[in-house]
Structure 1
């Protein structure tokens, strides 16, 4: 799915990531699940590009459905992988994610998400090496991604602003489709480590200057981050 010239969303509303295409190379924001590598390769062939053109992967956080094939790109092509310093240990597998209570679920939606996990692979390789980032960093990658700290879902959750495209990728800071219920009301993402902190981070997101918000799960929000945050709060 092309969001804008030079910006593609790969995957679907259950699990997705972004591909930034520029003259000086490619940037990935998240890496989905291991099987999403096939989807990436398919997209690259259509663009007459290869994995060797990827200059970096920026992870919104260290959960398994976001680190996907990142380690394979790092090992096989020397692609650097960036993650917030507070999620570095989780990304390397040194510190497991906490066990959060099971949220509400509906059979059809839950089975659909489980099917995606099984089809695309639920056991990604942890990262052998990462480059750490902090809030406010502008990364030396195509698209000049800007790190926006959004702790809550995990300690090192971030949003990634792509200023040239006026798009912000928010990972699991929020969702527009609950993976276990199918509810399309904008809301905080299930399996969040600290709901109070995640809610507080929404105030930071509301200040981001963008026209499109892309969650890791759910439909693309074509509107400002502030309007999306207002919709989350109005739905409570």
Structure 2
């Protein structure tokens, strides 16, 4: 099986597509205005929205679920998420009210502008999701493996796709803090339980993948001290 990884969007908010001979798997779903950039990116490799076989969400926050419902309702694409975050994604429970750990005016305004420009105020939550569990290997292109890493949210997941040597961490870490602009691997802001996130990340250190993709910030490439990922004593923010 040949597999290709597409990074769609930007370092503020990205969608990732695993493109194989059997179709396409999306890792996270960006913002609700992102169908256009996704369509263009897939067309560039000879694919379309109809080739998408599934969306796999790293967690249920609004900046990760944006086009999931449009793909589900208009193209029949199933939306997968860990059971612990299913109600957050669908809106059955209120959105989290976690406060920012720190911010600077420029990066904060850039994050807000990106959200407004790409439809964050028009989010349609997926009305139906497919629960997944820790250790599942999904029957989707690229055979994504699910690893529960609670902390940022109760149902946060790392998605391992060995076919493209990649590990997708959602908001467990960031490599460019969206509210301060500070670069480098660190815990992401708006976390329910930073101490739990650190413990969860320890599960990933023995994995062999060398391409690490956070939900916000550029790719980290390197052997998995998992990504010089924040150690259990590293500072937040």
The TM-score range, normalised by the shorter chain, is: over 0.9
- State the Cα RMSD in Å: 1.6
The equivalent of 1:176 in structure 2 is 175
- Show the counterpart of 2:115: 117
Residue in 1 aligned with 2:104? 106
SS in 1 for 2:39: helix
Please tell me whether the aligned partners of residues 39 and 48 of structure 2 are also in contact (alpha carbons under 8 angstroms): yes
Q: State the distance in 1 between where 2:91 and 2:226 align.
A: 36
Instruction: Give the secondary-structure state (helix, strand or coil) at the position aligned to 2:225.
Output: helix
Note closer, same or farther for the CA distance 1:109–1:75 as it changes in structure 2 (3 Å cut).
Answer: same
Where does residue 68 of structure 2 map in the other structure?
Answer: 70
Question: Which residue in 2 is equivalent to 1:80?
Answer: 78
How far does the alpha carbon of each residue in 1:191-210 deviate from its partner, in whole angstroms, 9 at most, with x for none?
Answer: 01111111111101213220
Partner Cα separation in structure 2 for residue 234 and residue 220 of structure 1: 23
Q: 1:124 offset after TM fit, Å?
A: 1.3
Counterparts of 1:29-68 in structure 2 under 5 Å?
29-68=27-66
1:157-236 matches, within 5 Å, as 157-229=156-228, 236=235
* CA-CA distance at 1:185 after TM superposition: 2.5
Other-structure match for 1:89: 87
Instruction: Give the Cα separation in 2 of the matches to 1:235 and 1:180.
Output: 19
Contact 2:29–2:57 (8 Å) recurs in 1: yes
Unmatched 5+ stretches in structure 1: none
Runs of 4+ in 1 over 6 A off after TM superposition: none
Q: Judge conservation of contact 2:151–2:200 (CA < 8 Å) in 1.
A: yes
What's the CA shift for 1:101? 2.0
Alpha-carbon separation, structure 2, partners of 1:185 and 1:211: 16
Q: 1:227 to 1:27 in 2, by over 3 A?
A: closer
User: What's the TM-score once normalised by structure 1's chain length?
Assistant: 0.94
Farther-moved stretch of structure 1 (6-15 vs 201-210) = 201-210
Structure with bigger helix share is: 1
Rounded to whole Å, the distance in 2 between the matches of 1:147 and 1:159 is 6
Q: What secondary structure, in the 3-state scheme, does the structure 2 residue paired with 1:154 have?
A: coil
CA–CA distance in structure 2, aligned partners of residues 234 and 152 of structure 1? 15
Q: Deviations over 1:102-139 (max 9, x none)?
A: 32111111111111000001131111111001111000
Partner of 1:156: 155
- Judged with a 3 Å threshold, the aligned counterparts in structure 2 of structure 1 residues 9 and 232 are, in CA distance, closer, same or farther, namely farther
TM-score if structure 2 supplies the norm length? 0.94
Determine if the alignment matches structure 1 residue 28 to structure 2 residue 8. no
Do the aligned residues in 2 keep the contact of 1:185 with 1:235 (CA within 8 Å)?
no
The 8 Å contact of residues 202 and 229 in structure 1, kept in 2 or not, is answered as no
Secondary structure of 1:116's aligned partner? helix
